């Protein structure tokens, strides 16, 4: 039995019984999508995680909903109760905020974020957040610590992880668990102890789980009407105008760029608050002469690997050229041949072989904008960094998008 399922059973007769029954969920997943992403990052999908994905799918613990306190003003609200009672921090965080195994898209997001952080401080490149609350991926989370042969699992909070790494130097971090299996059991123990202490404080209370999260798509028509009435896209929340830019009609996308500005017209605004090359890649089709992969060639300025670069890189590059107008993923063996060249070490790409191998690993996988942006940056990053790199990508991609008729 999975440790999480065993915990649900053991909590059934406690004050957290109703919560445990409703809170633990498993959802089927595409295991190959996880395997491909791990391969592209130069890491191995841990055997326990692969087995769990096959047998159970991706786990999620929903947070507690304190219905009793909402209806009875004399009861101490759950969050306040947690502050008053000394409970283990991991159990407290899971009960109050929930926890889920990240999807491949979320894993890519945390991987790219932590690789970016590693450009300033190398040890951050060894961390990879894989489980987190739904409302925030970089707090009350857990990460693989890839410094060790069998990835340890460590607590991760972006405000504290740097200090933890400095204190630990090259050794294990505090609360580090040897592997995924040990972490699952440790987390169950933390939850059990939390429930025990809450039960001693409030033995008659019971708790239920919050409703499962439901993603609400952004209805662009409603926002378009507000723009027609005189509103500016720049006055709306970033997810709203970003969705309008990524999926709206060409006229809507052009208006977003006029109202919000771009990387090259608003130099004083942080790049994460402005349209990104990734947004334009979303507008391009998966296949054809104006495909997303063809756009990568445009942003690469049609550069090629040098003659001195390893043979597998040239083979992969020729394959990429032959598939630039297609959406299919390269055969797994091609990606595997690139991996030892791309990830001989976890540091920044310091030579041509490494840059091209990493670029092609990303470019030959699923044609997702975030992966293709990573492919582009690997080739261009030898001469440019940070915002300058994004500006170069942007300036090369805008004319391509205009010729494609999507902008």
Supply φ then ψ for residue 209, to 5 degrees: -90, 150
Identify the pLDDT of residue 215. 80
pLDDT tens, position by position, 325-351: 999 999 999 999 999 999 998 888 889
Residues of the chain with pLDDT under 70: 1, 68-74, 168-169, 382-384
Q: Are 186 and 4 in contact (CB under 8 A)?
A: no
Residue 25 has phi, psi (to 5 degrees) of -135, 145
Distance CA 142, CA 129 (A): 6
Please report the pLDDT score of residue 296 as a whole number: 97
Which pLDDT score is estimated for 299? 97
What is the reported pLDDT for 71?
A: 66
Q: What is the pLDDT of residue 72?
A: 64
Nearest 10 degrees: Cα torsion 342, 344, 346, 348: -60
Q: Could you tell me the end-to-end alpha-carbon distance of the chain, in angstroms, rounded to an integer? A: 53
Measured distance CA(74)–CA(266) in Å, rounded: 52
Tens-place pLDDT, residues 215-257: 888 999 999 999 999 999 999 999 999 999 999 999 999 999 9
In three-state secondary structure terms, 63 is coil
Alpha helices per DSSP H over 11-140: 17-23, 31-40, 47-55, 67-71, 78-84, 89-97, 104-118
Q: Tell me the pLDDT tens digit for each residue of 114-137.
A: 888 877 777 778 889 999 999 888
pLDDT at 345: 86
Contact criterion met (CB below 8 Å) for 256 and 275: yes
Q: pTM of this prediction?
A: 0.92
């Amino acid at each position: 039995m999975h440790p999480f399922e065993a915990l649900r059973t053991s909590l059934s007769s406690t004050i957290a019984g109703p919560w445990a029954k409703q809170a633990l969920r498993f959802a089927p997943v595409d295991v190959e999508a996880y395997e491909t992403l791990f391969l592209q990052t130069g890491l191995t999908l841990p055997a326990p995680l692969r087995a769990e994905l096959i047998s159970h799918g991706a786990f999620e613990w929903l947070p507690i909903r304190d219905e009793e306190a909402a209806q009875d003003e004399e009861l101490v609200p759950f969050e306040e109760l947690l502050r008053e009672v000394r409970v283990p921090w991991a159990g407290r965080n899971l009960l109050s905020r929930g926890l889920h195994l990240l999807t491949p898209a979320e894993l890519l997001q945390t991987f790219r974020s932590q690789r970016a952080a590693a450009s300033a401080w190398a040890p951050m490149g060894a961390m990879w957040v894989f489980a987190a609350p739904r409302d925030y991926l970089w707090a009350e989370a857990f990460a693989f610590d890839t410094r060790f042969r069998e990835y340890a699992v460590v607590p991760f909070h972006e405000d504290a992880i740097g200090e933890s790494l400095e204190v630990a130097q090259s050794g294990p971090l505090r609360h580090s668990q040897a592997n995924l299996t040990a972490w699952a059991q440790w987390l169950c123990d933390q939850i059990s102890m939390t429930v025990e202490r809450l039960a001693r404080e409030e033995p008659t209370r019971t708790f239920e789980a919050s409703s499962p999260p439901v993603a609400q798509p952004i209805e662009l028509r409603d926002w378009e009407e507000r723009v027609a009435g005189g509103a500016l896209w720049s006055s709306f929340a970033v997810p709203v105008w970003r969705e309008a830019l990524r999926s709206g009609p060409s006229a809507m996308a052009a208006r977003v760029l006029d109202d919000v500005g771009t990387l090259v017209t608003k130099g004083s605004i942080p790049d994460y608050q402005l349209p990104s090359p990734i947004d334009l890649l979303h507008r391009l089709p998966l296949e054809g002469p104006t495909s997303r992969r063809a756009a990568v060639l445009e942003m690469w300025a049609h550069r090629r690997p040098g003659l001195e670069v390893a043979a597998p890189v040239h083979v992969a590059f020729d394959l990429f050229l032959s598939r630039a107008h297609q959406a299919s993923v390269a055969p797994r063996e091609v990606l595997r041949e690139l991996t030892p060249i791309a990830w001989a070490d976890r540091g920044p790409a310091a030579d041509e072989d490494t840059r091209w191998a990493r670029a092609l690993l990303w470019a030959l996988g699923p044609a997702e904008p975030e992966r293709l942006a990573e492919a582009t940056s690997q080739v261009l990053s030898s001469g440019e960094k940070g915002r300058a790199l994004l500006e170069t990508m942007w300036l090369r991609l805008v004319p391509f998008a205009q010729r494609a008729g999507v902008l």
